Amino acid sequence: MNYFSSDFKLGILGGGQLDKMLLNETRKFDIQTYVIDPSAEAPSKIACNKFFQGDLMDFDTVYNFGKQVDVLTFEIENVNVDALEKLEREGVKVYPSSKNLRTIQNKATQKLFYLDHNLPTSTFSRFAYASEIEDAIANGGLKCPFVWKSTQFGYDGTGVKIVRSLQDLEHLPKGECIAEELVDFKTELAVIVARNTSGEVKTYPVVEMEFHPEANQVEYVICPARLPEAIAKKAQDVALAVSKAYNHVGLLAVELFLTKDDKILINEVAPRPHNSGHQTIEASYTSQFEQHLRAILNLPLGETKSKLGGIMVNLVGAENYTGDVIYENIEAIMKMEGVTPHIYGKKQTRPFRKMGHVTIVNENLNTAREVAEKVKNTIRVIS
């Protein structure tokens, strides 16, 4: 297939900011892009050839959309997997596969996958109903503190909570969940692995993530991670082992814990472009979005080295503001050296909603981190 002169159709499930940034890269190729999203105001609507509004969890909606395209990919895991399976049986290429998505969609089956493949992860218990957790605590089968996670539909800090006492269980969703050991870690890391259908594999440098203490969202992504070379190599080796076990096509973002005694544990994965790779747009030879396209189209993978040190700052809605968005002081940050803002185009802001990100590049990573702090303290997402 010649993607530079064809009527090739790429379908993308989900029309949010990840898709908008992916579509920026499809312009390099001569391919048609079809996008479907539940929202009529999806950020990627302005950038695709054809836009459809529809429920990504509805079988018929996903199936009928997928029948129109040659290759189907997604920017969000919450899609109807049964429809993807049928499309694959009928010859539509779906990357990553429905099999991998089915495993990853449910945090319990994802954790069991790591155990089955002897991959390092924290201990956990699985519960059909959240109410069973209290029984487990009462009979000594589970001790506080632990991390409660809803097995499905969690994102951007939702569906995750540290439980330190029985009171923390109040108001949690009642459905299937897991209780994970609270890992005493030094740092949270991530490694993005790319794999094409021919089996070529490349990893991006290990990144370090700094989280907001309350929202459980990444505030800063620092690339490369400030680690000894041996530890970084260990993290990449674990990520490659995870990639090999899934045998995925496309990107796989592997989130990791570095424990106090320098062990690497798998937290969870995302089979798509990821927040931990946004700095690659400015800082790397090949952005994660171009790399995802190369992988799912079975083109040679691009160079993953960084050109400069890069830091990504998430722009999220300020607390106590809900409504039509205003970006305050954006001109001030654009005067700073090496700063590039990315505004996702969402009309409405609310507390902690991801509205954009800012990349800071510099030959000196410490300087970049200082500028990132200034950016964080300068720009505000309000209404």
Which of 54, 251, 93 lies closest to 84, judged by CA? 93
Structural domains for the chain: 9-94 (3.40.50.20), 123-181 (3.30.1490.20), 185-382 (3.30.470.20)
182 is in an annotated binding site: yes
Q: How far is CA 174 from CA 151, 196, 339, in A?
A: 11, 39, 44
93 is in an annotated binding site: no
What is the pLDDT, as a whole number, of residue 27? 87
SS3 20: helix
| CA–CA distance, 157 with 147 (Å, rounded to integer) | 12
**Tokens standing for 19?**
């898709």
The model carries a pTM of 0.95
What is the pLDDT, as a whole number, of residue 157? 63
376 is in an annotated binding site: no
pLDDT means per 10 residues in the chain (383 residues)? 81 97 92 96 95 98 98 96 98 97 96 98 93 90 92 76 89 90 94 97 97 77 97 98 98 97 96 97 98 97 97 95 97 97 95 95 96 96 96
What is the pLDDT, as a whole number, of residue 369? 95
183 is in an annotated binding site: yes
256 is in an annotated binding site: no
Sign of the Cα pseudo-torsion (118, 119, 125, 128, in order): negative
What is the pLDDT, as a whole number, of residue 92? 97
What is the pLDDT, as a whole number, of residue 170? 85
What is the pLDDT, as a whole number, of residue 155? 65
188 is in an annotated binding site: yes
240 is in an annotated binding site: no
